Structure 1
Amino acid sequence: MRRKTSPIWHPFTQHALQPDMVKIERGEGAYLYAADGRRIIDAIASWWVVTHGHCHPAIVRAIQKQAERLNQIIFAGHTHEPAERVASALLKLTPPGLDYVFFSDSGSTSVEVALKMALGYWRNIGESRSRIVVMQHSYHGDTIGAMSVGARGVFNAAYGPLLFDVATVPFPSGGQEQTTLDALEVACRDKPAAFIVEPLILGAGGMLMYQPWVLKEMKRICEQAGVWFIADEVMTGWGRTGTLFACEQADVVPDIACYSKGLTGGALPLAVTLCRNEIFDAHFSHDRSRTFFHSSSYTANPIACAAAKANLDLWSDPATLGRVASVAAMQEKALAPFRSDERFKDVRRVGTIAALDLDVRDSGYLAGIGPKLLAFFGSRNLLVRPLGNTIYVMPPYCVTQADLDEIYAAIEDAANLH
């Protein structure tokens, strides 16, 4: 078997099947430019992180300016202006009731922080609660805690001995929503520490979508039972579902919320976990053993925070949500022909995220059609990374109608691969 020549081990990549990587030299707007001269349309926002476009001038300028002033400082016992400005701006944009901002450096880590906040709260107030309730097919990241609250399967099968047990409620498929709500109500009777959910759409689990009223009911059940409600908006935040945050569509204020990916517009890694007063207060004490023991060396890195503040400034302009609405409308129009195409099934959309399943016998993340689709879209100069037989389009908001026409023409042609 031929081994790869580069010493780099790439994520979510089977090198025996994909030995050669596409070398990218630069990005601009919705496009990536490869070393061989090809222009590639980024149809998935480079793993869902790029919002306004690659190398957005305002964000680039903010990074350059901050790099000349302060590039790193330990955040324990110190603070700096970029972090203070980001926290202040976040509290203005996020739902009222989220009062404290904890910085970290990735979506997975923001989930770890959320879980530790919930567990720390119950321990510090003297209640023994450690069970976490999760949703079927969910995905919250690849660190140990995040994997534990995600679906058991191919992503984490090898690491089972490291994962803690959770209670699982079924995904609220259309017509089966009450089954989910009933299961959550039963799970909450056992006094778990928290319920964690991806609002409105489950990403890596297959772009599975459900209705806002279900999210609202789940929050009501948790509230009545005194169970912390954690919203993992790592993917769903920053306009992806049509509103700035998905929870807005259900008029839900989570007790703990996780945001990352588009937080810096896709320029640098940064994440935040926001929480209610009560959770902070349970850790506030002259007893040092009640300290919230979590950090990373690069917590609230000043350059990343400067990028985030420039991004948040862009969201303060109503035109940004206008572009989100425009992309959502273009996506809906592009999907229309596929709803009557028998080669596809479950054609769906929420906000700017569109998804459809190629109707093949072998389905799921490891479907044999997956690598063929990936290679086919690459040959069409498109960055489209299917989840098995599930094809999705989640572009930067600067995408054009012409770009989408090219993407969906390729999707239509992809149906002939099998």
Structure 2
Amino acid sequence: MTKTNPDTPIAPSHLQQRSLETVWHPCTQMKQLETYPLIPVISGKGVWLHAADGNCYLDAISSWWVNLFGHSNAYINAAIRDQLEKIEHVMLAGFTHEPVVALSERLKNMAPGTLGHCFYASDGASAIEIALKMSFHYWLLRGQPQKNRFISLQNDYHGETLGALSVTDVAIFKQTYAPLLNPCVHVPTPDWRYAEPGESAQDYAIRAAAALERHVAENHAQIAALILEPLVQGATGMGMYHPVYLQRAREICHQYQIHMIADEIAVGFGRTGTLFACNQADIAPDFLCLSKGLSGGYLPLSVVMTTDTVYQAFYDDKIAHSFLHSHSHSGNALACRAALATLDIFEQNQIIDANKIKAAYLNKIAAPLAAHPKVIDFRNCGMIWAFEVETEDADFAATCFQAGLKQKLLLRPLGKTIYFMPPYIINEQEMDLLINGTLQILDTL
């Protein structure tokens, strides 16, 4: 494949130039935009993004894992328009409104265990910050201020604000800011790719859980909580693991009196094949963090769900015993209404069952991809697929991204890992295009 000469900048369009002059784009080295220009998107419909130059791209990664039911979904659009005529936002301190109450009630009925209290924010990292602070504050109120440490899994990603980054184990995000971060122990990952030859995913998960228990047994007096990404560790390459690890982790947390925080920001709402990833282990965490697909990918919204035990610990005459944490747009009415519409679609269209049929079809047509000589560890969990590519290209992610565009695919590899996380409305013809296009990419790289 002929590569663009990195020393030959491409002249940007008017919109691209305006963006370069005023927008600081996330997770982007701006100098690379001279070689790989921004793509101005003017509209989206279903799984497709329509660019200003007339090209269209299949959104195979759900626009950073957020979009569940397609761009410009008619049902969600109508719900937001209706809410616009009522109230767009009101602060939740001293006020409430129907969308936030209705959403909280529905989440309570859907969530595992007794997670019945919802604290809202605007994004995933903020939800993680809330859960960490709540856990520490709970133990403080219970007379155990020494429980102020957190543990997470090797390779876990929980966000890039300082608290969330402290419990993250992805070096490229963390190294620069290490002097600002709180200490955190990362216990061995249960990702089955780390198993010994001949060791099953289940056996390796049990072995990883034993390492977790050894650390917790020695240090539980100082540990507030274990935080983890259930079943799939996203940002480090879609590492997948057996549900038995969650079962053992829940038992260990209960035995040694530490909280369990389930970060389902990326994997919640059907991504792993069940509504929540924790469902596959039949466990309930003490804190459940949700975002991304919560609003169907429409508007910034996140929530931390917790138990009555945690909630009641803050009930007191003293204002200092309150959870003094807030976000300006907590429980935004428009975002909550979008979330309610999203949950309607789940129920009305039996999405979990429908996704099983779609996943089976994609797995069937992906057989040639899984058998491709450049493909390593092809894997699937629900509506997530991933595999590593055998390549010596140090700039593989950018090369693959550009090659994907030529196949009308939006792919954004994680290092040398290609993954698919499409909107749930993807049809068989679009899945065919996704697999065939990816095969074309592998054959030309």
Q: Same fold (TM over 0.5)?
A: yes
Whole-Å Cα distance in 2 between the matches of residues 386 and 77 of structure 1?
Answer: 45
Whole-Å Cα distance in 2 between the matches of residues 202 and 39 of structure 1?
Answer: 30
The match for 1:26 is 43
1:145-171 Cα offsets, whole Å, 9 max, x none, are 111100041112211111111111111
The match for 1:133 is 151
Where does 1:217-296 land on structure 2 (aligned, <5 Å)? Answer: 217-296=248-327
Specify which of 173, 186, 189 is matched with residue 168 of structure 1: 186
> Cα RMSD between the aligned structures?
1.6
The match for 1:85 is 102
1:344-381 Cα offsets, whole Å, 9 max, x none, are 1010000010001101246xxxx421110111112222
Counterpart contact for 1:110–1:258, Cα < 8 Å: yes
Q: Does 1:398 align with 2:413?
A: no
SS in 1 for 2:250: helix
Counterpart contact for 1:107–1:234, Cα < 8 Å: yes
Where does 1:91-170 land on structure 2 (aligned, <5 Å)? Answer: 91-127=108-144, 128-170=146-188
Instruction: Report the alpha carbon displacement of residue 417 of structure 1 after superposing the two structures with TM.
Output: 4.6
Specify which of 203, 208, 217 is matched with residue 180 of structure 1: 208
SS in 2 for 1:357: strand
State the percentage of identical aligned residues: 37
Counterpart contact for 2:170–2:236, Cα < 8 Å: no
- TM-score of the pair, normalised by structure 1: 0.96
The match for 1:409 is 436
Counterpart contact for 1:331–1:354, Cα < 8 Å: no
Where does 1:321-340 land on structure 2 (aligned, <5 Å)? Answer: 321-340=352-371
Runs of 4+ in 1 over 6 A off after TM superposition: 1-4
1:309-367 Cα offsets, whole Å, 9 max, x none, are 111122222522232112211221133223322211010000010001101246xxxx4
Instruction: Report the alpha carbon displacement of residue 414 of structure 1 after superposing the two structures with TM.
Output: 2.1
Whole-Å Cα distance in 2 between the matches of residues 119 and 260 of structure 1?
Answer: 22
Q: Does 1:64 align with 2:81?
A: yes
Point out the more displaced range, 399-408 or 141-150.
399-408
The one-letter code sitting in structure 1 at the alignment partner of 2:119 is F
Whole-Å Cα distance in 2 between the matches of residues 318 and 379 of structure 1?
Answer: 33
CA distance 1:318–1:250, change in 2 (3 Å):
farther
Whole-Å Cα distance in 1 between the matches of residues 439 and 407 of structure 2?
Answer: 12
The one-letter code sitting in structure 2 at the alignment partner of 1:384 is L
Whole-Å Cα distance in 2 between the matches of residues 331 and 358 of structure 1?
Answer: 19
- TM-score of the pair, normalised by structure 2: 0.90
Number of residue pairs aligned between Structure 1 and Structure 2: 414
Counterpart contact for 2:295–2:339, Cα < 8 Å: yes
Counterpart contact for 2:113–2:283, Cα < 8 Å: no
SS in 2 for 1:263: helix
Whole-Å Cα distance in 1 between the matches of residues 186 and 147 of structure 2?
Answer: 16
Whole-Å Cα distance in 2 between the matches of residues 145 and 14 of structure 1?
Answer: 24
Instruction: Report the alpha carbon displacement of residue 111 of structure 1 after superposing the two structures with TM.
Output: 0.8
Counterpart contact for 1:30–1:53, Cα < 8 Å: yes
Specify which of 413, 416, 421 is matched with residue 386 of structure 1: 413
Counterpart contact for 1:53–1:398, Cα < 8 Å: yes
Specify which of 373, 379, 395 is matched with residue 368 of structure 1: 395
The one-letter code sitting in structure 2 at the alignment partner of 1:38 is N
Counterpart contact for 1:372–1:417, Cα < 8 Å: no
SS in 2 for 1:392: strand
Counterpart contact for 1:331–1:352, Cα < 8 Å: no
1:114-143 Cα offsets, whole Å, 9 max, x none, are 111110100111102011010000101111
Counterpart contact for 1:199–1:247, Cα < 8 Å: yes
The one-letter code sitting in structure 2 at the alignment partner of 1:91 is K
The one-letter code sitting in structure 2 at the alignment partner of 1:47 is W
Whole-Å Cα distance in 1 between the matches of residues 74 and 397 of structure 2?
Answer: 35
Counterpart contact for 2:155–2:168, Cα < 8 Å: yes
Segments of 5+ residues of structure 1 without an aligned counterpart are: none
